[in-house]
Amino acid sequence: MAEIIRATRACIHLEALKSNLQHIRAVIPDGTAICAAVKANAYGHGVLPVAKALRASGVEVLGVSSPFEGEQLRKGGDSGRILLFGPTVPEEIPLSIESGLEIMVTGESYLRSLEEALNTAPAEEPVHVHLKVDTGMGRVGCLPEEAVNLAFKISTHPKLSLTGIATHYPSADSEKPEDIEFTRKQVRKLSSVAEKIRSAGLNPGVVHAANSGGIALNSGTAFGMVRPGIALYGYGVSLKLKPVMELKTRITALKKVSPGTTVSYGRTWTSPGNNWIATLPIGYADGYPRAMSNRGEVLIAGKRYPVAGRVCMDQTMINLGEKTDIQLSNEVTLFGPDPAGPDAEELAEITGTIPYEITCGISARVPRVYT
């Protein structure tokens, strides 16, 4: 029996992913390593197929946000370098070590937790450590003036190896003069920290900071490695990028309603005429935002049609107008790379968020189909 795939599905275009990677490589200096962010299930795209495609395209490092994501990659067969972007609770550190992750040390207390974990569950090889320096993000990381002392403690520890120093840019995707200057100030701070570590006779390892915005808008931010995230998936910056995810479904019901008929919960939409209403088997439980109610549009046969009424948990209604050639089972695109229809950026603008949240929000019950 042939496999049945749900009508509502997320098509993941791996060639677009590879194309985006090529565009990123084209704007960074030769020899710059890439740490591809595959955290949060590769921003909703499916971590194992995406990681495999990125590795096949020469990506040196994969970035995750928890040791459980790193463990998933290891169980999926990935044996390459994996960088854990942030700190964890102490109880999770042994899993980071066991999974062979490169660990981001963010301060004195986390370094002590790492040392205690190594005392109780020693690693066969030295654990690779990156030192996170807070140059203006205000989230995690040591102060610049603390960095040399921490670098010394890491470098002289028999079970640790200082592999890199890093920071993060909060506004590198902004073209406002004050934000550009803020990012440049961060670059200068990290450069100064690296130089002080070298002056102390230590090797800081690879210096890295640039996220997607830094790569696209600030050429001097690359250092020795960049960490693209949303740019890989087709959004966020002014490069020639292609959306990788295409959210699609098919029409499950068609009905003609008379003038004055209300549609969906709360009766927030009233038919102005004898209109055809199409029902789609997708709703906010699938990740299609409820905020698209009466505001969003979908693409059917090359033409846009508006959402009619509130988006339900499992269904969404579309107004096809008084006359239509649309039929049952016709394919519908809710967002994707087709310029005729909406993309995740458009949904984000309507709902007051960012495309990251749109793609990450596509739920696990929506199957990913890889092309």
Instruction: List residues with catalytic annotation.
Output: 39, 265
Closest CA to 347 of 300, 307, 301: 307
> How does 273-293 read in b/e, with b if 16+ C-beta sit within 10 Å?
eebbbbbbbbbbebbbbebbb
- Alpha carbon 120 to its chain centroid, in Å, reads 34
Q: Between vectors from CA 355 to CA 350 and to CA 360, what angle results, nearest 5°?
A: 120
- Residue type present at position 286: D
Q: Between vectors from CA 305 to CA 299 and to CA 284, what angle results, nearest 5°?
A: 75
Classified as helix, coil or strand, 12 is strand
Classified as helix, coil or strand, 368 is strand
> How does 226-262 read in b/e, with b if 16+ C-beta sit within 10 Å?
bbbbbbbbbbbbebebbbbbbbbbbbeebeebeeebe
Which residues are within 8 A (CB) of 346 and not within 5 positions of it... i.e. 6 or more apart? 335
Total Cβ atoms within 10 A of residue 302: 9
Total Cβ atoms within 10 A of residue 2: 4
